[in-house]
Amino acid sequence: MNEKVIVFGGSGFLGSHVADALSDAGYDVVIYDIKPSPYLRDDQEMVVGDILDEKKIMEVTRDAKYVYNFAAIADISEASEKPVDTIKYNVLGNTIVLDACVENKVERFIFASSFYVYSNKGSFYRVSKQASELIIEAYNEKYGLEYTILRYGSLYGPRADIRNGIYRYLYQAIKDGKINYYGTGEERREYIHVYEAAKLSVEVLKPEFANQFVILTGQQVLSGKELLTMIKEMLDNRVEINMLPGKESLHYTITPYTFSPKLAKKLVSNMFIDIGEGLVRVMEEIYEKLHSDYCKEIERRI
């Protein structure tokens, strides 16, 4: 195929999986991130750089057919505490990439947005995604830059970290034998394994998804209580669940939707990873990491 694709934010949780799915599909993948990818494959190229570096971004997007942007402050709590950084990286950084795409005649720009654009929750994170979506549409109107905007459901799977909800609960359960859950437990989420999300993120390169808003979500909907009960049972009921009153919530409870005039197509994989199996794989990853860290600490003390 030999078509060049740039994945901004390709060192992270979702970006790295999408980069792998693109490589598997035969594309020449270049990962651009502020830190080297620990998951870089031999058939991928790594460019370390800041998304605010206009000159470097102009250079790296040259000859690219497609550009994905996953680079952002994606943790809602962090974004709510860092409004300036959130707007700088999520909005200005995205606009710098858009400008380079126009200059270098990129065929399509694919943007990682969020369910939170439908909501009045999500603080500055939501605002940054809404603003970026509007700017992307404006670039299409003015310059004809083709786009696909992806709105992801609740992701989980390998390579996540403590900022990811499911990873955080499993980490607490395995390390401390308890889970601190802030909320009522009635909060419902449509979970999608990151493997499925990555494959669907490549599928949207088809012509029918040009200039479209696409929802990528899973077939498994669970409340907080159901998820915690599943985790507890999978760990032989040896986990203490602490339901704690939350602060003013930045997250939606049942649905992110408020009235919005923009419609999005919903894309769901025909084959999906059962959430029970997915949870076990993440548990194994966390256990291995904790065991490795413990061994390193013992060696350090010796």
Q: What percent of the chain has pLDDT over 90?
A: 70
Q: What percent of the chain has pLDDT over 70?
A: 88
Q: What pLDDT score was predicted for residue 85?
A: 96
Q: Rounded distance, CA 107 to CA 104, Å?
A: 9
Q: Let me know how long the chain is.
A: 302
Q: What pLDDT score was predicted for residue 302?
A: 41
Q: Any alpha helices (H) in the chain, and if so which ranges?
A: 13-24, 54-60, 76-81, 83-86, 93-103, 123-143, 165-176, 194-203, 224-234, 275-301
Cβ neighbours of residue 59 closer than 8 Å, sequence gap 6 or more: none
Domain that holds residue 66: 4-301
Q: Rounded distance, CA 219 to CA 228, Å?
A: 18
**What CATH number corresponds to the domain at position 282?**
3.40.50.720
Looking at the structure of the chain, the number of domains it has is: 1
pTM tops 0.85, yes or no: yes
Query: Higher-confidence residue: 114 or 194?
Result: 194
Q: Is the pLDDT of residue 74 over 70?
A: yes
Cβ neighbours of residue 29 closer than 8 Å, sequence gap 6 or more: 5, 7, 10, 19, 22, 23, 43, 44, 45
Q: What is the pLDDT of residues 108-124, one digit of tens each?
A: 999 999 877 777 778 89
Q: How far is CA 244 from the centre of its chain?
A: 26
Residues 125, 79 contacting (CB under 8 angstroms): yes
